[in-house]
Amino acid sequence: MCGNNMSAPLPAIVPAARKATAAVIFLHGLGDTGHGWSEALAGIRSPHVKYICPHAPVMPVSLNMNVAMPSWFDIIGLSPDSKEDEAGIKQAAENVKALIDQEVKNGIPSNRIILGGFSQGGALSLYTALTTHQKLAGVVALSCWLPLRASFPQGPISGVNKEIAVLQCHGDCDPLVPLMFGSLTVEKLKSMINPANVTFRTYSGVMHSSCIEEMMDVKQFIDKHLPPVD
């Protein structure tokens, strides 16, 4: 496999047990693939929901001494003032929007799609939801941050997702993406979209990973915002 965007394999998919009337698109973290998250989501699945876990393209990552690994965009540093890969983030968001469009073509309206992700994938899901013209059902943002935050307005956004529901989750012992990043992100989100629709949950003793309690919160959020229609 070479490191261009066309080489990413097809997403890992957990099909709906019956006719799919809703979808969750979930983006993995740096250096991972969609397989682990597709298994985790299979454990909390609802019968009418299709779960799509794409794999990031392989590319050199500055933070990891330019070693090539699955990555949605380049990460240069992990401090709040680190330089960001603006072109890469915007291109990755376009790729996610294309995935959403594909599901719409498959017959699932965008407002029946939840976008989610963990770490770098969560960051991309937040950025995509806040910049897309596709109306989404919600965002699940795990152990992450808002990329290119300075590019957003001071105050409410005007897009179709200004009322979007967001579930943001973070372990309180995260050594990679500190809890403070999550707290700053939730404050920024509440200034941009309806604050009543932003939920922030923290998990005691959890590092840069997920836990059963978090997955139950994710399931509850998905079930609430993607109820069965038939």
CATH classification of the domain holding 32: 3.40.50.1820
Q: Catalytic amino acids?
A: 119, 174, 208
- Total domains, the chain: 1
Which among 54, 50, 161, 55 has a CA at the least distance from the CA of 106? 50
What mean pLDDT comes out for the span 137-158? 94
List the domain range (segments joined by +) for residue 32. 12-225
In a domain, 2, yes or no: no
What mean pLDDT comes out for the span 81-99? 96
The CA–CA distances, whole Å, from 75 to 55, 130, 160 equal 17, 20, 29
Residue 7's pLDDT band, with cuts at 50, 70 and 90, is low
Q: 174 in the Ramachandran plot: left (φ > 0), alpha (ψ -120 to 50) or beta?
A: beta
Q: What integer best gives the mean pLDDT of the chain?
A: 94
In a domain, 7, yes or no: no
Give yes or no for residue 6 having a pLDDT over 90: no
In a domain, 3, yes or no: no
DSSP single-letter state for residue 84: B
Structure tokens at 224: 């609430």
Give yes or no for residue 5 having a pLDDT over 80: no
Q: What is the pLDDT of residue 161?
A: 94
In a domain, 153, yes or no: yes
Q: What is the pLDDT of residue 154?
A: 86
In a domain, 48, yes or no: yes
In a domain, 4, yes or no: no
For 68, how many CA atoms within 13 A lie in the half-sphere containing its CB?
A: 8
For the chain, report the end-to-end CA distance as a whole number of angstroms.
42
What are the start-end ranges of the E strands in 54-112?
58-61, 67-70
- 78-117 burial: b if 16+ Cβ within 10 Å, else e: eeeeeebbeebbbebbebbbebbeebbeeebebbbbbbbb
Q: What confidence tens digit (pLDDT) does each residue in 105-136 have? A: 999 999 999 999 999 999 999 999 999 999 99
Give yes or no for residue 179 having a pLDDT over 60: yes
Residue 153's pLDDT band, with cuts at 50, 70 and 90, is confident
Give yes or no for residue 217 having a pLDDT over 60: yes
Q: What confidence tens digit (pLDDT) does each residue in 32-77 have? A: 999 999 999 999 999 999 999 999 999 999 999 999 999 999 999 9
Q: What is the pLDDT of residue 194?
A: 95
Q: What is the pLDDT of residue 158?
A: 87
Give yes or no for residue 4 having a pLDDT over 80: no
